Structure 1
Amino acid sequence: MTTHAPSPTSSTSSTGRAGSAGLDPAVRIGLYETMVLSRTYEEAILREYHADKGPGFDIGKGLVPGEMHLSAGQEPVAAGVCAHLTTDDAVTATHRPHHFAVAHGMDLHRMTAEIFGRETGLGRGRGGHMHLFDPATHFSCSGIIAEGYPPALGQAFAFSRRDTDQIAVAVTGEGAANQGAFHESLNLAARWTLPVVFVVEDNDWAISVPRDVATAIPSNADRAAAYGIPGERIEDNDVEAVYDAAQRAVARARAGDGPSLIEVHTLRMWGHFEGDAQGYRPELAEVPEHDPIPRYERLLRDAGVLDEDAVSRIRATASERVEDAIAFAKNSPLPDAATATSYVFA
């Protein structure tokens, strides 16, 4: 695979485009399908999460108790990056992980069962939605900020020692880019020339803190130059620009040339967590008009890549897969209380 990465000490900035006329139509449809499947999944989880939280809103009640962080609006990041990966590659995601889990090919049945706390889940129902661990797809996530970066280095180091072309992708948010683990990971990955791609999802809000209040520079991609690796920022939540940037970064990692950093200016359409009133967001009323899925659908329709029949078929297929996974989870048994101390360290 040819790589067109910038020089190791440069930092580039990409802006959104009207689309890649030269991108294969099958690839463009694949990106759209992934985004639709992810959104369909999140909408179903949203529905089931709120179905029995009342009266009022009791976070501990219902089929899906506890916190819930959904990724609607951030689908272009996962779709564009994971289009270049196989399930032999590793992905470490954040506390908002579902779009990357879906895009990376995780089994929807076992993933949903885990979110519902069922015995058939990935972690036998012990972990919930922020702790999805799947050896079959080398996927993991965590509720700890920037936690996924150091483990990704370990996986990348193992891949390089085995002399494979597998790579690791480490995802975090723009707020987590101010954590020490972020900088330590970039430094070590660069020093050891590890096959890892660092991804920063800039959705403007570190919970309720705006990025320009918390971060000293406009683009975290500029920080890559401090570690001698390529950095690239994608504006406008552009899935095809993400796809192009990820292609360069993944090719560089697979070729043994070391890590890259991609930051995507994306969009968190819903609250930081379900139940978040979002009173801190002055732009909240304008959010729906920036939804990346109808925007990309219009682009593909205008290009003649999609028509009404194709859109209906893609949506119906996504809905069928998701509802089947929801039904599987609901029909799966809860863990036996007698096994509460099983599968834990002592």
Structure 2
Amino acid sequence: MSQNIQILATGGTIAGRSSSATDKSYAAGSIGVDALLDEARNLGLPFSLEGEQVCSVGSQDIGRPHWQALHEALIRCESDAAVDGVVITHGTDTAEETAFLLDLTHQFTKPVVLTGAMRPPGVLGSEGARNLANALGLASDPYSAGRGVLVVMSDHAYAARDIRKCATQGVAAFDGFPRGPLAALSPAGAEWLCPPVMPPLAGRFPWPKELPLVDVIYGQANMDCRLINAAIESGAKGLVLAGVGQGNAPQSVLERLSELVSGKIPVVRASRVNEGFVERNVEVADDAYGFIAARTFSPQKARLLLQLQIAARMDDTAACQAMFDQIQ
């Protein structure tokens, strides 16, 4: 029986248009979902396909209104018995954030797969059609269900909690941390590399009515507290320190952040380094300062998780830390 797959298009490079096959510049989100459907159907894949244009932007412009529209579209797909799986086409710049947000706020019973491309259609070496074919195959695979939101790039599938963009160019621009890919992919099918590593992460939070303002402060040598103070003055309800090394910062900065924690502004310590754990109480006395250690999460994912915690009125540091620990 043919699987019925719904494509939810949001724009991005996979839907971009360039003036020539060798031009570096392009306009993201210029191709609509109907063109993507035609391309997918021309591949001869054994799926019944439908599509919806949720939005049409480069993912650097993805924000709360687009996430809200995508959330509503996913709810419709989940409740539609005719839909067997969902593929979201998305820009790569913030793909990891959209995937992680959806993973933490939906309890999916059907496969949900997000994919994109580093090169637009028509450009030499464009990988969008292959990524789309791999994503459609994964969305039709019953072993995809129960793993949360999956992200497909460069012949691999990653969990939303692990996926990271690690390069600005080239098709091998994504990796996973702390786990690598969950499956190796081709248009012929998926080779699963591991069973689900833990119970599904989805559904830990209700969909938020709003996302509280949380800013990321980038750590650097000789930094001071000006950007921290400016963030608070502009209404930030929480802060993430993208610290040096294992989430460190000058003593004056740590002391200022601790003052904010005392004033009920939660602070998460993450790292500006691409990979690695940010553990509690290694160089920074988290227990004394009242900080939350990001563990494996990048600053951008730590920000989303903290936003959801604030929206859910979680104001106990130990409980917030426990969730950062558990969602690894």
Higher relative contact order (CA 8 A, sep 6+): 1
TM over 0.5: no
Give the structure-2-normalised TM-score.
Answer: 0.29
Bigger strand fraction: 2
Give the structure-1-normalised TM-score.
Answer: 0.28
Bigger helix fraction: 1
